[in-house]
Amino acid sequence: MPSVQIETASVMLGVGGQSGDGLLSLPNLGTNCTYPFQVSGFGAGIQVSVSKVSAAGPVKNLTRLEDFPSRYSVFQGETTLIAGVGATSMKNSANVEMALASRTQGRGLGFGA
């Protein structure tokens, strides 16, 4: 089954974003079959935070590599403050889903979207 690993950093002061790198692994295509990709996001709300997130998990419904790069929407999520573990489920318009388990390190206060 395809899987992803993502490392991001974020800074928020009311409005902010996060960016990082990821690696898509496709073991069904053979050994060493991985594709690097970029990650970026945007958030807003009453929030002050600096954090680093490491996430990994399976990718479902990926039948063509062309369906992977896209804008993903979170349809089920959990956020952590200070240091902890969380989970996020995301889906794109091609119905590709990622179920990510994450570890967050940093400091934050507030709430946002």
Model pLDDT, residue 113: 45
Rounded Cα gap, residues 26 and 3, in angstroms: 7
Enumerate residue ranges in the chain where pLDDT < 50: 111-113
Question: CA torsion angle for 70, 53, 17, 92 (degrees, to 10)?
Answer: 20
Model pLDDT, residue 107: 60
For residue 109, give the amino acid letter: L
Model pLDDT, residue 94: 93
Model pLDDT, residue 93: 92
When divided into structural domains, the chain yields a total of 1
Which range marks the domain in which residue 21 is found?
Answer: 3-112
